[in-house]
Structure 1
Amino acid sequence: MSLARIPRQRAIIDRRKLASAIESLVAEHGDKARPQIVDLLKTALNEGRTELARRLEDKPSAGHENAGGFAFLIDQLIRVIHDHATAHLYPSANRSQAERLAVMAVGGYGRSEMSPHSDVDIAFLVGGRKTAWCEQVVEAMLYLLWDLGLKVGHSTRTLDEAMRLAKGDLTIRTALLEGRYVWGDQGLYDEGSRRFTMEVVRGNERAFVTEKLAERDARHKRMGDSRYVVEPNVKDGKGGLRDLHTLYWIGKFIHRVRTASELVDVGLFTRAEYRSFRKAENFLLAVRSHMHVITGRAEDRLTFDLQRRIAERMNFAERPGKSAVERFMQFYFLQAKRVGSLTGVFLAHIDEQFEAKTARRGFFAGWKARSRQIKGYRVHGGKIGAPSDDWFKRSPVRLIEIFQLAEAEGLEIHPETMRQANRDSGLIDNAIREDERANALFLDLLCGRNDPETVLRWMNEAGVFGKFVPDFGKVNAQMQFDMYHHYTVDEHTIRAIGLLNRIEKGELADDHPRATRLIHKVGSRRVAYVAALLHDIAKGRGGDHSVLGAEVARELCPRFGLTESETEMVAWLVLNHLLMSHTAQKRDLTDPKTIEDFVAQVQSAERLRHLAILTAVDIRAVGPGTWNSWKGQLLGELYDISSERLRLGHMRHGREQTIAHKQAEVVELLDAEAGLVENLAETMGDAYWIAEPPDIIALNLVHYSAAREQEHELSIHCEYYEARGATLVTVIAADHPGLFYRIAGGIHLAGGNIIDARIHTTRTGWALDNFLVQDPHGDPFAEEGQLERLKTSIADALANKVDLAPRLAQRPLAHSRARAFDVAPRVLFDNKASNRFTVIEVNARDRPALLNRLARALFESRLVVHSAHITNYGERAADTFYVTDLTGGKLEPGERMNRIEARLIEAASDATQDRLENA
């Protein structure tokens, strides 16, 4: 904002009063006045900051006013410091033509957009050459600014140097582009401004735009390349302040505009779009100011802990189904989305003005010479456009049709038409939503075979998607306040649809071979796409989003044109879209009861095929790294076993047949050492043969036999287990109480995360425990040094060489940000999930060695752990244990179960963690 419009300026800083006080100090102390002058300036700076922080509390959304206020404060300080340096420190009565000095604000300071701890970027322009006087004044000013604790970016150049460097360096060119006169020789500044336009800008417009867009694209890639990441960078992230600045820079360079409002006059924005620009900029500046005030530093990343506090400071209130922080972040993402829309329209207009024929993707490809028509639409240069301004008003169904045609024909949408669609999206009323043709067009787009993801994203950017499917509009820009989901709900959904399209085209066959086969075997591909669209449609409403989403599906599917059986299938998939992932990751897939219960819910092979596909795209669309070979293996095992059970109507083998069949497979794998199967068949016991897969049994038998031959009291074997994308750790030791929790502690101390564990005791009293381990990033330990570290750490833990509890408490979480979340520990007991075991599921905030503490609590409760299954959802861990009491029986509800629950909750609580950390 114009600094002249900053209200109550003297309450921020009174320059004349400050200058007068410095005059008095110089008069009184002469050359020795410096300490008092610095104190005086510091007081003025701190009082100004305090006043602006108070104003931000009073008007928490006044971003422009606050940013302008800080620029005003720095301006006044620089003016006072300049006058002190030139009048008192280095006075020069008769300056030569070379002894000219102008102080110019550049960067954010030049735009008058400063947050409380922004850098102060200034350029000193000097006359024909750098004289001793100029250097002395600049040095004196810089030392005073540094004494105030300001972080100053500075340069001192003659006009000739500035012009030469600006021609060759994009950063310098951009800095001078938004240079603003602060103080000193106004004539010198004006001359520099005129020369910059004549020598640097003129004739170089096209090159500047190309370089700026390349710079923007590189920045987006660094920041995650999505404006919907859940911890966005307010300054440099996609949809952030820097994107708005890029528009301003380009407009200013090409059209010589002085303010953003002039972008309307040169036809790059409509008045409504400019208001949107200002609204987004105002909000983002306010958020950034709050971040600086809270942290006391120049912070640009809107982390989870800051999100909570800023939501409170900006007076966002809780609503049913949505916390205050979720409402704040939804508003944030709506602004970021608006920045994206403005960027698209703006840059496309620039492209047209240049008649660029570039290879950039998106809206911006150049026009080709030949024009044609499709169903009344103009198609020119790969872009489809409305033929008239009232095209959509005359038939609002066309608002759906144009996106369907764009997808089907592989076209982009002309920016002016996107602008029209955005403007006219309000024409979509209930009559259009119920229109049979409109719904058929939408379904064709959703199930498109080219690129439905990109076109649905355009439709969303234009506001048409949310108007046509209001339930989708409700999750537009809605974040999920956790560390598991990387994107907003609408972005996650559109990505899931895109992944489904890529799977159908065979592009992800390496990662998703099963889904790639199944998508071509389902009875209705429309079901797969509509289920992907609706699976999270009811998030943020309060209650179970799966149950509420199924109700939405039953309403929407008939409207889209799905048959009754397709509608029922979609509703069932939405209701149960988490069933397969939860079963695979939290239950023991070798327990027959797990499969029986899962199959009883699925009931048909067609449901199973669809559920497998939906589960894969849902997990992968959560964010980078959430899909891995471990999850793929688990889901594949569950699918294969369940598919067989559904096909045959029963499990292929009974208990004895299963053991015999598995032993025969192990015999084949062992080849020359096949005799181990017969020798150790009785020793291992039936439960072992049922629980472990053949490849692991083959490894175990070799290790166990060698350990017994050499009479090792402890044998630890670690190797990279490619089939599961993890490291297999096998521990063979004399069985004794507490073995499991000690091994877990040793693995944690070596930096490992346990993702699965199976605990066995042979009939001769030896423990044989298998663990699957990954590092905190979900990768296996594969290097020799890592494997040795694992072995040593486990051995030390079992030999009581380390005091586990305090050592483990000191290990930082991979995501220490987890402390920003409240996850109340919860314990669930289930005696129906297994015929032999009680299943205990503990949900708690993830922290160092949670599994070790839970395992110890189970040991102290005199329970035997037979298997453990570990799942992480960002900040939340879900650890599942299959247990019996010491006699091999299940737990029964009652006082003992209550005591175990209390012990587990205490082990998982924040208070316990804090106590251990402070021990």
Structure 2
Amino acid sequence: VERFMQTYYLHARTVQQVSARIVDRCTGTPSRVGARIRQLMGRDLGDGFTEIGREIHILPRHQELFAEDPVRLLKAFWYAQQTGFALSQGARDLIRGNLDRIDDAVRRSNRALGCFLAILRERTGVARILRQMHETGVLGAYIPEWGKLTCLVQHDLYHKYTVDVHTLLALEYLEQLDRAETTHAEEFQAIAAHLERPEVLKLAVLLHDIGKGEGHGHVATGRRLAVQILERMGLAPEEIAEVEFLVANHLVMAHLSQRRDLSDERMVVEFARQVKTIPLLQMLYLLTSLDIRAVGPDVWTEWKGALLWELYLKTHTILTRGIAEGVDDAARAAEVGTALLAELTAEFAPAAVRAHLDKAPVRYLLTTTAPRVAQHLRLIQRLEAGAEAAVQWAAYPMAGHAEVVVCAYGRPGRFARIVGTLTANGMNILSAAISTLADGLVIRQFQVDDGRGMAIGDPTAWARFEADLDRVLRGVADVRELILARRRDVLRRPAYKGRTPPPTRVEFDNVVSETHTVLDVRTADRLGLLYVISSVLSELGLDLSLAKITTEADQAVDVFYVTEAGGSKVPEGPRMEEIRRRLTEAISEGIG
């Protein structure tokens, strides 16, 4: 399918280019006398190029300029970038007619490399010029591996553009930073503005998907091809190594930020060890952001941006202070507990604070700020007054999500009921963090949006959720019925109309976390999915500490940090197979 669609788009592209040439010639051809006058009034740019009427022309007496020096095929675009003028249709036609002059000698030429890097070093106009080089065939002639990406379709619902268009869009977004209005846009701009060698980042963006022209496994292939291309160009070894690292790891930050526990310092430290330097971290952060933004409309969300920024900041802190060889969590937790006690006794009785902290797990102490602990203590006071559950919410419009904290004593299946009630109220769950105290109190913190990347700040909506949750937890209402009612009310297009939905995949990772088994579930997205999964985990006796929810087009990618009831990781073998089977069956059956 991908090859068929590539052939179709290549033919359509050819038709469009030929049509544009015909229109240009019909509308822009001056009279012979007028043309002569324009030539006399033209401004010589050098290398045989002349500016006439804000266009770059090649006069008849210079028609052999590319035969004399093939590097001028690249130089033409450097002049276009420096002047801001477009290449005339005649110049573009002459360039297309001389593409075969870009041979291996030109590709290995230091002068060609110097010209190409000069284009990349500019702050603006890089994406526009590379797009013109692509349209005329110069980019594919200079980098033959790039030619395989032309009109290459990615056969999934997630990627909306062909690989070449996606890549050039990513470069375009880099130049549009000054107009970005998203959270952390200023920080993004500052990082990009202070790069020592911006051309290294732009080479990485240009080549990050170069392996897709060879089929599956594009990261490993792309790494090899990037080195091959840059060595042929004659780039400095240290710059080749940097681009190689960026291409090889361009998916890592998105994976860690969206699907792993960012409060796990050991995980972040291991990532910092891989990155090694702050300049590489900065470029990898920028590359990751640009790559996600260029996938398609609405793929980038404020939530993804916030997670990515959190990983960047934590890694930057570790690289700045130096990577410690050992992390003593118990000692750090004791220090944090002492500091929290001192800070919170202004509002709460010292005995109450001390009792709460003594019952809290180490992870809670290491990841919970004093204002957050104070919030939890207030919710606990409401529970002690007789509430079934204590709820507090806050909307963060700039970040594109709302946060809700639910405090209640643990009961089997209670997390699933809370999740189901959120779903039934039209709240799209982005993540969930669970802290269980020694006395059975469970503090559950959710990040949610409205399904379109917007925060939910309507007090009426939250009051309705609290009322439904109270009814569900007291056994007055059936959460499954609430979800089914929601599904009937919401007009949802068939996710996989005319196609077979992807199979459910359940994978386990006992390495990335020292304390938990990480469960990755990838399946077709549907209303109530998280409720179904969390219900099965509860039935299997698994304790859930963290959930991170991602949707790629119509496919859900959900991650769960779980342990057995006694606190151990899930053992490999029959137990994992049982979990995989039960989840697959339940997801297939749905909720009715």
Is the shorter-chain TM-score for this pair beyond 0.5, marking a shared fold?
yes
Q: Say if 2:417 is the partner of 1:745.
A: no
Larger radius of gyration: 1
The superposition leaves residues 419-457 of structure 1 with CA deviations (integer Å, 9 ceiling, x where unpaired) of 332343344333332333223222222333231111111
Q: 1:353 to 1:828 in 2, by over 3 A?
A: same
Q: 1:379 to 1:628 in 2, by over 3 A?
A: same
Task: State the shift of 1:391 in Å.
Answer: 4.1
Task: State the shift of 1:765 in Å.
Answer: 1.9
Which secondary structure does the structure 1 equivalent of 2:549 belong to?
Answer: strand
Task: State the shift of 1:601 in Å.
Answer: 2.3
Q: Say if 2:450 is the partner of 1:775.
A: yes
Q: 1:406 is aligned with what amino acid?
A: A
Aligned ranges 1:486-497 → 2 under 5 Å: 486-497=160-171
| Number of the residue aligned with 1:385 | 57
Distance of 1:440 and 1:554 partners within structure 2: 18
Distance of 2:369 and 2:26 partners within structure 1: 61
Relative contact order (C-alpha < 8 Å, sep 6+): which is higher?
2
Q: 1:535 to 1:872 in 2, by over 3 A?
A: same
| Number of the residue aligned with 1:867 | 546
Task: State the shift of 1:871 in Å.
Answer: 1.6
Whether the 8 Å contact between 1:456 and 1:494 is mirrored in structure 2 is: yes
Whether the 8 Å contact between 1:330 and 1:478 is mirrored in structure 2 is: yes
| Number of the residue aligned with 2:395 | 720
| Number of the residue aligned with 1:554 | 227
| Number of the residue aligned with 1:412 | 86
| Number of the residue aligned with 1:138 | none
Task: State the shift of 1:798 in Å.
Answer: 3.4
Q: 1:509 to 1:841 in 2, by over 3 A?
A: closer
Whether the 8 Å contact between 2:50 and 2:58 is mirrored in structure 1 is: yes
Q: Paired residue for 1:786, among 444, 457, 461?
A: 461
Q: 1:760 is aligned with what amino acid?
A: S
Aligned ranges 1:437-476 → 2 under 5 Å: 437-476=111-150
Whether the 8 Å contact between 2:269 and 2:323 is mirrored in structure 1 is: no
Q: Paired residue for 1:648, among 314, 318, 321?
A: 321
Q: Say if 2:329 is the partner of 1:329.
A: no
* TM-score of the aligned structures, taking structure 2 as reference length: 0.88
Q: Paired residue for 1:526, among 182, 196, 199?
A: 199
| Number of the residue aligned with 1:567 | 240
Q: Say if 2:410 is the partner of 1:735.
A: yes
Which secondary structure does the structure 2 equivalent of 1:538 belong to?
Answer: helix
Q: 2:585 is aligned with what amino acid?
A: E
Q: Say if 2:379 is the partner of 1:703.
A: yes
Q: Say if 2:51 is the partner of 1:372.
A: no
Distance of 1:666 and 1:721 partners within structure 2: 28
| Number of the residue aligned with 2:531 | 852
Q: 2:87 is aligned with what amino acid?
A: I
Distance of 2:219 and 2:181 partners within structure 1: 27
Q: 1:712 to 1:677 in 2, by over 3 A?
A: same
Moved more, 829-838 or 594-603: 594-603
| Number of the residue aligned with 2:268 | 595
Q: Say if 2:28 is the partner of 1:352.
A: yes
Distance of 2:396 and 2:273 partners within structure 1: 32
The superposition leaves residues 95-125 of structure 1 with CA deviations (integer Å, 9 ceiling, x where unpaired) of xxxxxxxxxxxxxxxxxxxxxxxxxxxxxxx
Q: 2:557 is aligned with what amino acid?
A: A
The superposition leaves residues 591-641 of structure 1 with CA deviations (integer Å, 9 ceiling, x where unpaired) of 223213322322333322221121111112222332232222212221222
Structure 2: gaps spanning 5 or more residues: 32-37
Whether the 8 Å contact between 1:440 and 1:561 is mirrored in structure 2 is: no
Q: Paired residue for 1:626, among 290, 299, 305?
A: 299
Distance of 1:373 and 1:667 partners within structure 2: 75
Cα RMSD after superposing both structures: 3.1
| Number of the residue aligned with 2:175 | 501
Q: Paired residue for 1:609, among 275, 282, 285?
A: 282
Whether the 8 Å contact between 2:545 and 2:562 is mirrored in structure 1 is: yes
| Number of the residue aligned with 2:75 | 401
Task: State the shift of 1:905 in Å.
Answer: 2.3
Whether the 8 Å contact between 1:443 and 1:560 is mirrored in structure 2 is: no
Whether the 8 Å contact between 2:109 and 2:233 is mirrored in structure 1 is: no
* TM-score of the aligned structures, taking structure 1 as reference length: 0.58
Whether the 8 Å contact between 1:870 and 1:880 is mirrored in structure 2 is: yes
Which secondary structure does the structure 2 equivalent of 1:593 belong to?
Answer: helix
Which secondary structure does the structure 2 equivalent of 1:539 belong to?
Answer: helix
Whether the 8 Å contact between 2:521 and 2:558 is mirrored in structure 1 is: yes
| Number of the residue aligned with 2:512 | 833
The superposition leaves residues 715-754 of structure 1 with CA deviations (integer Å, 9 ceiling, x where unpaired) of 2333213574211122222210111112111111222221
Aligned ranges 1:58-457 → 2 under 5 Å: 324=1, 326-342=2-18, 344-349=20-25, 351-352=27-28, 371-375=42-46, 376-388=48-60, 389-457=63-131
The superposition leaves residues 8-56 of structure 1 with CA deviations (integer Å, 9 ceiling, x where unpaired) of xxxxxxxxxxxxxxxxxxxxxxxxxxxxxxxxxxxxxxxxxxxxxxxxx
Task: State the shift of 1:845 in Å.
Answer: 2.0
Moved more, 593-602 or 343-352: 343-352
Whether the 8 Å contact between 1:514 and 1:636 is mirrored in structure 2 is: no
Distance of 2:366 and 2:535 partners within structure 1: 26
Percent identity over the alignment is: 31
Q: 1:664 to 1:577 in 2, by over 3 A?
A: same
Q: Say if 2:253 is the partner of 1:580.
A: yes
Task: State the shift of 1:568 in Å.
Answer: 1.0
Distance of 1:497 and 1:540 partners within structure 2: 19
Whether the 8 Å contact between 2:259 and 2:559 is mirrored in structure 1 is: yes
Distance of 1:671 and 1:425 partners within structure 2: 76
Whether the 8 Å contact between 1:496 and 1:620 is mirrored in structure 2 is: yes
Which secondary structure does the structure 1 equivalent of 2:212 belong to?
Answer: coil
Q: Paired residue for 1:537, among 210, 218, 227?
A: 210
Distance of 2:39 and 2:378 partners within structure 1: 69
Distance of 1:483 and 1:632 partners within structure 2: 21
Structure 1: gaps spanning 5 or more residues: 1-323, 356-366
Distance of 1:723 and 1:453 partners within structure 2: 29
Distance of 1:748 and 1:897 partners within structure 2: 28
Q: 2:437 is aligned with what amino acid?
A: T
Q: 1:438 to 1:664 in 2, by over 3 A?
A: same
Distance of 2:4 and 2:471 partners within structure 1: 49
The superposition leaves residues 513-540 of structure 1 with CA deviations (integer Å, 9 ceiling, x where unpaired) of 3332333444432211111111111114
Whether the 8 Å contact between 1:821 and 1:875 is mirrored in structure 2 is: no
Task: State the shift of 1:377 in Å.
Answer: 0.5
Whether the 8 Å contact between 1:746 and 1:796 is mirrored in structure 2 is: no
The superposition leaves residues 390-429 of structure 1 with CA deviations (integer Å, 9 ceiling, x where unpaired) of 4434543322211121112222111222233234334433
The superposition leaves residues 280-310 of structure 1 with CA deviations (integer Å, 9 ceiling, x where unpaired) of xxxxxxxxxxxxxxxxxxxxxxxxxxxxxxx
Q: 1:586 to 1:342 in 2, by over 3 A?
A: same
Which secondary structure does the structure 2 equivalent of 1:482 belong to?
Answer: coil
Q: 1:688 is aligned with what amino acid?
A: Y
The superposition leaves residues 116-167 of structure 1 with CA deviations (integer Å, 9 ceiling, x where unpaired) of xxxxxxxxxxxxxxxxxxxxxxxxxxxxxxxxxxxxxxxxxxxxxxxxxxxx
Whether the 8 Å contact between 1:726 and 1:781 is mirrored in structure 2 is: yes
Q: 2:385 is aligned with what amino acid?
A: Q
Q: 1:765 to 1:482 in 2, by over 3 A?
A: same
Task: State the shift of 1:714 in Å.
Answer: 1.9
Q: 1:883 is aligned with what amino acid?
A: V
Distance of 2:578 and 2:459 partners within structure 1: 43
Distance of 2:383 and 2:182 partners within structure 1: 44
Q: 1:837 is aligned with what amino acid?
A: H
Which secondary structure does the structure 2 equivalent of 1:597 belong to?
Answer: helix
Which secondary structure does the structure 1 equivalent of 2:254 belong to?
Answer: helix
Distance of 1:458 and 1:796 partners within structure 2: 62
